[in-house]
Structure 1
Amino acid sequence: MKRRSALELLLLSILTLVIPAYADTYPNKPVTLMVPYPPGGLSDVIARKVNQALALELKQPVIIENLGGAGGAIAAQKVLSAPADGYYIFQGSPNELILAPLAMKAVKYKPEDFRLIQQMALAPMAIVARKDFPAKNANEMVAYIQKMAKEGKPVNYASVGNGSFYHLIGEELSKKIGAEMLHVPYKGGGPISQDLLGGQIDLFITPYGAPHVAMEKEGKLRFIAVLSSEPQRLIKHIPSVDENKLLKGFHYTIGSGYYVKKGTPEPIVEALHKALTKVMFDADFVATMAAMGQDPSPALRLDEAGKAYADDIKLYQGIAKSINLQAQ
């Protein structure tokens, strides 16, 4: 018994040395930043700024992997299939982690399978239309959507997938104005922008940035209304949805956050949290976010990040329930 106890103590002492040592050496190889959409969209642009600053903090390359499809669920599942060792970081939002499991029967993970490390930015949102859409503000848009629905030719709107955040608010818009709309799911914002410019898509309710503003100035697309009560910094000339009484209070933003697989060792979580928090204050990152119209998110402690994620789970599951979202 004494020999067994001595052996157990020896193993325990080895473990207590190995775990901190493993964390102290993290990262000792490149880290992958998983982006759940194809290149070209706003998520991809943000990732390509974050990875540069994050690589400097971690002293290892941070490689971007774009993997679109299933509203971001394919990329999320790949992160969960990897070890919980901090070498796969997921750039995402409630869109992929909370709503995708509610919308698709094939998605087997739960929001609680991920842990939020840091919230990086909050994106203002607007209703964007093809350049020749026959409406210039919320009142004209609502009237046109209602007219086309009565004629059996519903206005279409794009999203990044069934059950995505953009799908849900499109359905809520349709519900609020009492008119049918046609949902067209895509794999990411890049392909949507291409079809919006090509005139195949009528509307896209989306976060936006400097590229969208430039395209509006060039006459390639049209902003209809902002999803806030006040004018937004990059497009101060665009009116609020509140101008239409049916859409008053139809206000939304969405954040970009960085997540790891639940069960990632705490010292590694802390190392990533420290690095990402420093990135938030990187001058180049801050300038890029401002130029793209992104609002800075308050830097969260790890316990605050945990609470914020839990609150998001409750909020977005409530929205899904309110429009009777059914998994397909």
Structure 2
Amino acid sequence: MSVTLNRRTILGLAIGSLIASVFPAAAETFPERTITLVVPFAAGGSTDLVSRLVAASMSKTLGQQVIVENVGGAGGNLGAGQVARAEPDGYTILMGTVATHALNPLMLKTKPYDPIEDFAPVSLLVLVPNVLVVNPQLPVNNVKELIQLLKDNPDKYSYASSGNGTPLHLSGELFKSMAGVTMEHIPYKGSGPALNDVIGNQVPIMFDNLPSSSGHIKAGTLKALGVTTKERAPSFPDLPTVAEAVPGYETYTWNAFFAPAGTPPEVVARLNEAAKAALADPEVIARMKDFSATIVGSTPDELASHVKAEIQKWEPVVKSTGVTLD
């Protein structure tokens, strides 16, 4: 009997040693195949632009392709929910935003995922200003003139956003509340389709992420009235802030990588390293500077703290606007 027990003990120790050695080795060889980066919005918006830029650089670092998959709809919830339910192996990750990890969880009556429990934070990548833009045919040249136009013509004008519950939607609702004006909200399945209709003058007004609108502003196909951050954007130093006309107004978005909860820490660390390497890429730095995105490159723990702080910050704002989603 003692011989059998000794053999079992030895076998158990051998298996334990094998498991301990194999899993770190697997993490060291990660990735061994293509990684899918889910962007929970349609192509063409700010999140999509940042995702493709960072993914291309990460592909070089990791030696495997990081491909972007756009899963738009439900204000980012469809794509975020898909990643929350994905295999926690690091091969499916999410480009999360303030919408997916703060605003939507606060506004949704039925929550398809928990923004804290269902994800493994990887890295906070960038902070992105929003911008108030209008079709050039709209007879206004600044925020004060827009406010006056809306007050003189109540319920006549509408504004586009990238979807219900997105930061751009909330930016519009907060503006309406603080400026004392009315506009009908027209939600789209992403910033790209919304921008197309604003440029085509189907909808005259939009709050957009500055990166996706910057080219159109420079080309003159959109007229920028103000950025939504406290300070003016370095890439558009002559463009006033909305707060200069509406004191206290401020909104912005951010982009961050998340993996499904349960992803091995070694894999999360590898993704974090690759993300930081991409953010140190001179080409990425130059492009981010073009549209005034502030590079962060946090640790997983710092991103976890950021998400909790964002939820606490936006909760009273969401309650004050009364926005809820089914």
Secondary structure at 1:29's aligned position in 2? coil
Whether contact under 8 Å (1:79, 1:261) holds in the other structure is yes
Whether contact under 8 Å (1:224, 1:239) holds in the other structure is yes
Aligned residue number for residue 114 of structure 2: 110
Tell me the amino acid that sits aligned with residue 289 of structure 2.
Answer: A
Secondary structure at 1:34's aligned position in 2? strand
**Residues 148-174 of structure 1, C-alpha deviations (whole Å, 9 max, x = no match):** 22xxx3421122211111212211111
Mapped to 2, the partners of 1:317 and 1:8 lie a distance apart of 51
Q: Quick check: 1:195 aligned with 2:159?
A: no
Q: Structure 1 residue aligned with 2:171, among 160, 169, 189? A: 169
Tell me the amino acid that sits aligned with residue 292 of structure 1.
Answer: F
Q: 1:94 to 1:226 in 2, by over 3 A?
A: closer
Q: 1:283 to 1:321 in 2, by over 3 A?
A: same
Q: 1:265 to 1:288 in 2, by over 3 A?
A: same
Pairs aligned (count): 321
Q: Quick check: 1:216 aligned with 2:217?
A: yes
Whether contact under 8 Å (2:101, 2:307) holds in the other structure is no
Q: What's the TM-score, normalizing by structure 2?
A: 0.91
Aligned residue number for residue 321 of structure 1: 319
Whether contact under 8 Å (1:102, 1:325) holds in the other structure is no
Aligned residue number for residue 178 of structure 1: 180
Aligned residue number for residue 31 of structure 1: 35
Aligned residue number for residue 11 of structure 1: 15
Q: 1:272 to 1:170 in 2, by over 3 A?
A: same
Secondary structure at 1:173's aligned position in 2? helix
Aligned residue number for residue 292 of structure 1: 291
Mapped to 1, the partners of 2:320 and 2:267 lie a distance apart of 38
Aligned residue number for residue 208 of structure 2: 206
Mapped to 2, the partners of 1:214 and 1:10 lie a distance apart of 61
**Residues 3-44 of structure 1, C-alpha deviations (whole Å, 9 max, x = no match):** 555554343223212221221221111111111122222222
Mapped to 2, the partners of 1:327 and 1:10 lie a distance apart of 54
1:24-103, aligned counterparts within 5 Å?
24-103=28-107
Q: 1:222 to 1:315 in 2, by over 3 A?
A: same
For the aligned residue pairs, the C-alpha RMSD in angstroms reads 2.0
Whether contact under 8 Å (1:94, 1:316) holds in the other structure is no
Mapped to 2, the partners of 1:75 and 1:217 lie a distance apart of 31
Cα deviation for residue 287 of structure 1 reads 1.0
**Residues 24-78 of structure 1, C-alpha deviations (whole Å, 9 max, x = no match):** 2211111111111222222222222111110111111111111111111111112
Mapped to 2, the partners of 1:226 and 1:270 lie a distance apart of 35
Secondary structure at 1:124's aligned position in 2? strand
1:201-280, aligned counterparts within 5 Å?
201-209=203-211, 212-244=213-245, 247-280=246-279
Cα deviation for residue 217 of structure 1 reads 4.1
**Residues 219-264 of structure 1, C-alpha deviations (whole Å, 9 max, x = no match):** 32211122234432222222222332xx112122221111111111
Tell me the amino acid that sits aligned with residue 47 of structure 1.
Answer: S
Secondary structure at 1:111's aligned position in 2? coil
Mapped to 1, the partners of 2:185 and 2:295 lie a distance apart of 31
Secondary structure at 1:101's aligned position in 2? helix
Whether contact under 8 Å (2:40, 2:80) holds in the other structure is yes
Structure 1 range deviating more: 71-80 or 265-274: 71-80
Q: 1:97 to 1:303 in 2, by over 3 A?
A: closer
Cα deviation for residue 91 of structure 1 reads 1.0
Structure 1 range deviating more: 64-73 or 170-179: 170-179
Q: What's the TM-score, normalizing by structure 1?
A: 0.90
Aligned residue number for residue 157 of structure 2: 155
Tell me the amino acid that sits aligned with residue 177 of structure 1.
Answer: A
How high is the sequence identity, in percent, across the aligned residues? 30
Cα deviation for residue 107 of structure 1 reads 4.1
Cα deviation for residue 117 of structure 1 reads 1.2
Cα deviation for residue 286 of structure 1 reads 0.6
Q: Point out where structure 1 has 5 or more consecutive residues left out of the alignment.
A: none
